Amino acid sequence: MTIPDFTVVIPARMASTRLPDKPLADIGGHPMIVRVAERAHASSARRTVVATDAPAVAEACAARGVEAVLTRADHPSGTDRLSEVATLLGLPDDAIVVNVQGDEPLIDPLLIDEVALHLAAHPDCAISTAAHPLDDIADVFNPNVVKVVCDAAGRALYFSRAPIPWSRDAWSAVPAQPAASAQVALPSMPVLRHIGLYAYRAGFLRRFPTLAAAPLEQTEALEQLRAMWHGERIGVLVTASAPAPGVDTPADLERVRALWADGMSQDGP
C-alpha cells in the first residue's frame, strides 16, 4: 500500500514547568521546534505546520522557512489544538493528520510515514499510534511509561500507567510498586510501551472537543482514553525498538544535543 497524502501538525507550547521556553531551546544552532519540523519535512508529509500559541515560536519558525499558525492559548490538550488547526487549514474529514510532538527533534521520519500508513490501512479506526516491546522491568512498573494492550486485530484495548497486562503467575508476589532492587522478571507476553505519535482523521479531530471528558482519562491523565470511552477505535503499529529520546527536562536536552551532534559528525559537515 502506498503512503497516503497526510499533513504533519506539530503542537508547540512555551509553558513547560520542567524546561521553560522548551520549543526555542537550541539544538545545533536552531530552535528545537525547527529541528522537529526538519524531521517531519524528511517524511512523506505533503505539508508540515507548527501550531503554537506563542508569537515567539511562530517568529522563530518563519525566520527559518517553517510554516506556523497561531492558535488559541486556552486549549486543554494537544488534540484540542489540532482540532483548531484542522479547521484553520480547511482539511476535509477524510484527511490524515499526524501529530508529531514538538519535543521530538530526533524522531524517525519513517515512523511518521508508518503511522500515517497504518491509519490509511485501517478504515475502522479514527486514530493510529505506535508502541514497542519493553525490555526493562523498571519501565514496566514506571507510571511515567505508558503501556498499551491490543486485541487480535491490533486495536488498542486500553492504555495505562500501570503494568498491563499483569502477569498473574510471574508476579503473584510482586507489590504494585516494587523496590528498585527487587528481582522481577519480564513476563513471557510482551509489555508494550506506547509511543506518543498519533495519526488522526480530520473529521474525528473536529469532533474531539465536543466529546465529554472521560473518567478513565481523568484518572490516568491520558487523553487518548477519551476517544476510546466514546467508542472510537485506535490502531496500534508495533515497532521492534524504542524511538530516539525526546526532551522533557534539562538533562534530556543535553542528551539530545549530544546525540544530534554525534549524528551530524557521522553524517559529515
CA dihedral 70, 75, 80, 85 (to 10 degrees): -10
pLDDT of residue 94: 95
Span 141-199, pLDDT tens digits: 899 999 999 999 999 999 999 999 988 877 877 765 665 445 677 877 899 999 999 99
Instruction: For residue 255, give the nearest of 20, 23, 25 by alpha carbon.
Output: 25
High-pLDDT (> 90) share of the chain, %: 76
* 29 dihedral zone (left: phi>0; alpha: psi -120 to 50; beta): left
Residue pair 150/233 in contact by the 8 Å Cβ criterion: no
- Least confident residue range of 66-80, 110-124, 141-155, 211-225: 66-80
Q: How many residues does the chain have?
A: 269
- Out of 3-17, 114-128, 244-258, least confident range: 3-17
Q: Cell triple for residue 181? A: 532492587
Give the tens place of pLDDT for each residue, 229-240. Answer: 999 999 999 999
Q: Dump pLDDT digits (tens) for 14-27.
A: 877 778 899 999 99
* Confidence at residue 268, expressed as pLDDT on a 0 to 100 scale: 42
Segments making up each domain of the chain, as ranges: 6-172+187-257
Q: Distance (Å, rounded) from C-alpha 9 to C-alpha 158?
A: 25
Q: pLDDT at residue 266 above 60? A: no
Cα Rg, the chain, nearest whole Å: 19
The better pLDDT of the pair 269, 71 is held by 71
Q: pLDDT tens, 55-64? A: 999 999 999 9
pLDDT tens per residue, range 100-113: 999 999 999 999 99
Would you state the CATH architecture of domain 6-172+187-257? Alpha-Beta Complex (3.90)
Q: What angle do CA 238, 243, 245 make, to 5 degrees?
A: 145
105 in Cβ contact with 10 (< 8 Å)? no
74 versus 269: which is more confidently predicted?
74
